[in-house]
Amino acid sequence: MIWLVNIVSILLIIFIIWWFWMSRPEIHRATESIINIRVSDGVYTPSYINVEKGRAVTLRFERLDPGPCAEVVRFDDFGIRVELPLNQVVDVQLTIEAEGEYSFGCEMQMYAGRLIVS
């Protein structure tokens, strides 16, 4: 029986590793200049956003999560910190001139998203 328990534990470990490190949310390719981002249930939707270098984009956040965790979004690379009042729409305007990956998120980084600029 022990071998079965071992196999199950190993499979579980593999699954957990895959879940946390391998699975990446679908990349949202921004072809429009306004990107709507829903803030609910602990995730930004979309959370992985591909934007064109040098192009002005508006990230339009709509916070539906009453939890205090969701009330701020920060873009540390750009010194941006914005409050998100509940059930309101807040625009964050960005033009990123350098290629790369930039993270954004709440104060504790529980809500987390990424901008992929290329």
Positions in the binding site for Cu ion (CB under 5 A) = 69, 106, 108, 110
Closest separation between CB of residue 116 and Cu ion, Å?
22
Closest separation between CB of residue 106 and Cu ion, Å?
3
Q: Which is nearer to Cu ion, 43 or 50 (CB)?
A: 43
Q: Which is nearer to Cu ion, 69 or 82 (CB)?
A: 69
Closest separation between CB of residue 76 and Cu ion, Å?
14
Q: Which is nearer to Cu ion, 49 or 70 (CB)?
A: 70
Closest separation between CB of residue 14 and Cu ion, Å?
29
Sign of CA dihedral 49, 116, 113, 86: negative
Q: Which is nearer to Cu ion, 49 or 106 (CB)?
A: 106
Task: Provide the residue type at 116 as one letter.
Answer: I
